[in-house]
Amino acid sequence: MRLAPSTCHARIKRLQTSGVIRGAYADVNLRTIGLNLEAIGFIKLAKLERSVIERFMNELASIPEVCGAYLVSGRYDLIVHVAVKDIDHLRNLGLDRFTNQPAVVDVETSVVFDSRTRHELPILLDAAQPTRKSGRLKRTRR
């Protein structure tokens, strides 16, 4: 089905306004801009207090090398994805921005050798599949 540009624009605006679309991003080849090494940091915090977590997550978000920071369950409290120039840059980032934080008690770092990223939405199958009929979504039961 082909849609007019004005129809597409209106649909995208509606999805943005409703919060379904939070942003649009470029898929950048980090190596072409000199960021030749990616790593994942596993961070254990001294205290799991809301204020400590919020403050540290905000600090992580302000670090240019941080691609993503995730509060998780399990052995570590945070997982941080970083992109840096080289191993020296990674070491300095860890020492200057992570391990010297009073909230941090342990950092374990793993170098990323290769990755695959999905940019489309996953198709989740369940008993009630949406189907198209007459231009409207209709639920069918199996």
Instruction: Please give, one letter per residue, the 3-state secondary structure of 55-122.
Output: HHHHHHHCCCCEEEEEECCCCCCEEEEEEECCHHHHHHHHHHHHCCCCCEEEEEEEEECCCCCCCCCC
List, for residues 40-87, the tens digit of each pLDDT value. 999 999 988 999 999 999 999 999 999 999 999 999 999 999 999 999
Does this model's pTM top 0.85?
no
- Structural domains for the chain: 30-112 (3.30.70.920)
